[in-house]
Amino acid sequence: MFTNIKDFVEGLDTSTIAEERRQLLAPLKTYIKEGLSKQEAVNLNFICTHNSRRSQLGQVWGKVMAQFFGYSQIKTFSGGVEVTDCNPRTITALETQGFKVGNKGGTNPRYQVFFDHGSPAIVLFSKIFDDKTNPDSDFAAIMTCSHADENCPFIPGAKRISVTYEDPKEFDDTPREAEAYLGRSRQIATEMKYVFQDLI
C-alpha cells in the first residue's frame, strides 16, 4: 500500500463516529463477519443514484480497508440506477488523498485508481447496479443515498443495507467544493475502517 495512503488510514480516528452512525453501520459489519465466519467470498456493492460520488468512494475505501486489514476474500463494487459518469471532483479528492489515477477517456471515463504498487487498479466508471462487472447474487447492496434507497425497492440476489451519506454535489461550483468532497471521502474512509476493524 502506498505509504501516504497507509498513513492516512492509520490516522483515521474511528472513535469520532457517533453512536447513531455506529448503529447504522452495524448490519454491514454483521454481514461481513458472517461471510468471513463461513469462509465465503464477501461481495459489497455500493449503490447510489448516479454512481458518481458516494458509491464510488464506498467502493474505493471498502477495497482499501479490506486490504489494510488483510481480508482478500472481500470484493467491492459500485453501481447506480442511472448511468452518468464518475464525477471528476470525486477523482480529484482521491488524488488529493494520495491515490494515483489514470483515465482511459470517453464520455463515461474508466478511471484506473491505484493505491498499492502490487495490486491491480480499482476501475471506476458509472454503471447500473446490475452491470455485468458486478455480482448478480450473494452480495450486499449498500445504499449510500436516500434517493437510490427509495427508488430501488428490490435488488435481486442482494442483502439490502442502508448506509446513507449527504451528497457533496450540493457544494459543486462553490468555494467549499473541495472541502466537501474531501470531507465526505474522509467520512466514508473512517466509517469503512470502523466496519472492517475487529471483524474476527
What are 142's strand-pairing partners? 46, 161
Q: What's the CA gap between 53 and 190, in Å, rounded?
A: 16
Helices 54-68/88-96 angle, 10° precision? 30
Is 90 strand, coil or helix?
helix
The tens-digit pLDDT sequence of the chain (200 residues) is 999 999 999 999 999 999 999 999 999 999 999 999 999 889 999 999 999 999 999 999 999 999 999 999 999 999 998 999 999 999 999 999 999 999 877 889 999 999 999 899 999 999 999 999 999 999 999 999 877 667 665 788 899 999 999 999 999 999 999 999 999 999 999 999 999 998 87
How many domains does the chain contain in total? Answer: 1
Beta carbons of 128 and 81 less than 8 angstroms apart: yes
Beta carbons of 61 and 189 less than 8 angstroms apart: yes
Name the residue range of residue 98's domain: 3-196
Q: What's the CA gap between 90 and 52, in Å, rounded?
A: 8
| pLDDT at residue 184, as a whole number | 98
CATH number of the domain that residue 169 is part of: 3.40.50.2300
| pLDDT at residue 149, as a whole number | 67
